[in-house]
């Protein structure tokens, strides 16, 4: 499989497949394709996989596209931003926020990832349940806004506002940090908690989380009396 990411501000990834190659995607993500692509809808992993994807913020069913001849298929972003390709290798999983998954090669598996720390689970920006991508192949993730990458050394931390974490390599620790000071909490506009990411590993941050944009729009909508 070869790919090219095109377009802005709503990007798409155009994948060139050889005969017999397969791609998996969430429902509604395919935007154009050659007629040689055969679609099959199913739930990988049976009932367990169905519920795992549902808890991880994705649809219970996935579409698998098989190239019956050489051709192209494109998957489009649903929000202004970027598409991040991640190379998944055996023993090197990637943890992503819910609803980040766009598409992947057939060898990539998606499961749920539970935050092991209670505080990070209930108050962290990414919630208790995230997505774990494992196996082998390229996966494509949707990034809201612009994408920023940091390499964290062992013990090095980054404090991140809620929702701005797109994902990180397995081995990075996610926890929460309470905002200090009553005035900071009441008037700072940053909420009660921030997310703390601690290395070693790679973290990917997004500048315009969909939830933040929705809150801003909602604040400007007329109120019903």
Question: Per CATH, is 2-218 categorized as 3.60.160.10?
Answer: yes
Going across the sheet that includes 81-88, the strands are: 37-42, 62-67, 22-26, 101-105, 137-144, 81-88
Give SS3 for 155: coil
118: which residues sit within 8 A by CB, 6+ positions away? none
pLDDT of residue 194: 79
Residues 53-97: tens digit of each pLDDT: 454 445 567 899 999 999 999 999 988 999 999 999 999 999 999
pLDDT of residue 112: 84
Whole-number Å distance between alpha carbons of 20 and 29: 21
Residues 107-152: tens digit of each pLDDT: 999 888 876 554 444 444 444 578 999 999 999 999 999 999 999 9
């Amino acid at each position: 499989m070869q790919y090219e990411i095109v377009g802005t501000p709503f990007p798409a990834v155009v994948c060139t497949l050889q005969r017999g190659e397969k791609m998996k995607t969430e429902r509604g993500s395919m935007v154009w394709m050659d007629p040689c692509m055969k679609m099959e809808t199913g739930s990988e992993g049976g009932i367990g996989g169905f519920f795992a994807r549902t808890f991880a913020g994705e649809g219970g069913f996935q579409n698998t596209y098989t190239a019956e001849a050489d051709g192209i298929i494109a998957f489009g972003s649903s929000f202004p931003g970027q598409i991040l390709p991640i190379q998944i290798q055996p023993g090197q999983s990637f943890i992503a926020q819910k609803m980040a998954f766009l598409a992947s090669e057939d060898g990539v598996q998606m499961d749920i990832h539970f935050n092991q720390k209670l505080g990070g689970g209930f108050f962290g920006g990414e919630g208790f349940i995230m997505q774990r991508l494992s196996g082998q192949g390229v996966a494509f993730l949707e990034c809201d806004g612009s994408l920023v990458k940091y390499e964290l050394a062992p013990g090095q931390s980054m404090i991140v506002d809620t929702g701005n974490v797109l994902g990180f390599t397995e081995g990075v620790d996610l926890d929460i940090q309470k905002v200090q000071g009553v005035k900071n909490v009441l008037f700072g506009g940053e909420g009660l908690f921030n997310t703390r990411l601690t290395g070693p590993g790679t973290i990917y941050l997004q500048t315009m989380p969909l939830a933040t944009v929705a809150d801003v729009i909602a604040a400007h909508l007329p109120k019903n009396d």
